Amino acid sequence: MSESIHFLALVDELSALAQVDAVLLAGSRASGLSDSYSDYDVYVYLNAPLAAEARQKIVAKHCQYLELNNQFWETEDDGVLLDGIEIELIYRDFSFLENELHYLVERHQAKVGYSSCFWANLLDSKILYDANGQAKRLQQRFNVAYPSALQQAIVNKNAPLLMQQMPAYYFQLAKALKRQDRVSLNHRCAEFLASYFDILFAINGLPHPGEKRMLEFAELHCNICPDQLAENVERLLAEVGQAAGSLLDTVSLLSETLQQVVTTQTSLSWPTKS
């Protein structure tokens, strides 16, 4: 899918600013998997602060709608280009990204869910502007084989939360069922799936692609995969929506079949209860 002329004009203006070191396009539009719902995910790497007012003068010219300086996760300008395509402009500096990836890829520090998203974000990004070659150098530095120590760290961090330790999502879902607390059921199910897919992508040596279309990505790219993955995930989601007691059986099935493929199809170990 060719890039919008309004998008390209905006990138050109941002790239001309002294504060901008690089502009990277991420997400489905960078990977070639975009569809009619896809927006532009743009990461603007800065070497000095770029005031919201200065950004507005540039971005507003190319947008029919603009939310300036959103601060929900990172600093963002979110809008709709003149041709109707949504855009997210996320402002970072390279030291933030380098630090995140150093601790993940080189120090093997896992998180609860979505451990390697920043890694995938960098590797899959299309460099649109790179003043000093820093973006390219980072891509080259972290374009390495998935470390087995990181795979094991992600399993160790997330597996006990499926249904093993006291804080596990299984037990939280069981309590929410007893209370018929549908809000908690939905929240705990989302967290269960976050840890589940974090493990699944790790054992396949795949940096985590992010929160969108995870099941589709897993079916396309995961060679090590529990049987009937899509069917069981879809069943769980339906059962959560109905607050059905059978969802605990589905959580157990998903957890046990994932453990089975880890222990039988990989050289990794599944952590024992502490």
DSSP secondary structure, 98-121, as one string: HHHHIIIIIT----SS-TTHHHHH
Q: CA 94 to CA 162: how far, in whole Å?
A: 34
- The closest of 118, 124, 122, 203 to 158, measured between CA atoms, is 203
pTM of structure: 0.91
- What residue has token string 């000093």? 132
| pLDDT tens by residue, the chain, 274 residues | 467 788 999 999 999 999 999 999 987 767 655 566 678 899 999 999 999 999 999 999 999 999 999 999 899 999 999 989 999 999 999 999 999 999 999 999 999 999 999 999 999 999 999 999 999 999 999 999 999 999 999 999 999 999 989 999 999 999 999 999 999 999 999 999 999 999 999 999 999 998 888 999 999 999 999 999 999 999 999 999 999 999 999 999 999 999 999 999 999 999 987 6
Q: Which two tokens stand for residue 194?
A: 């976050």
Question: Where does residue 180 fall: left (phi above 0), alpha (psi -120 to 50 degrees), or beta otherwise?
Answer: left
Structurally, at CATH architecture level, domain 5-142 sits in 2-Layer Sandwich (3.30)
The values of phi and psi at residue 248, to 5°, are -65, -35
Quote the tokens at residue 163.
Answer: 């249904």
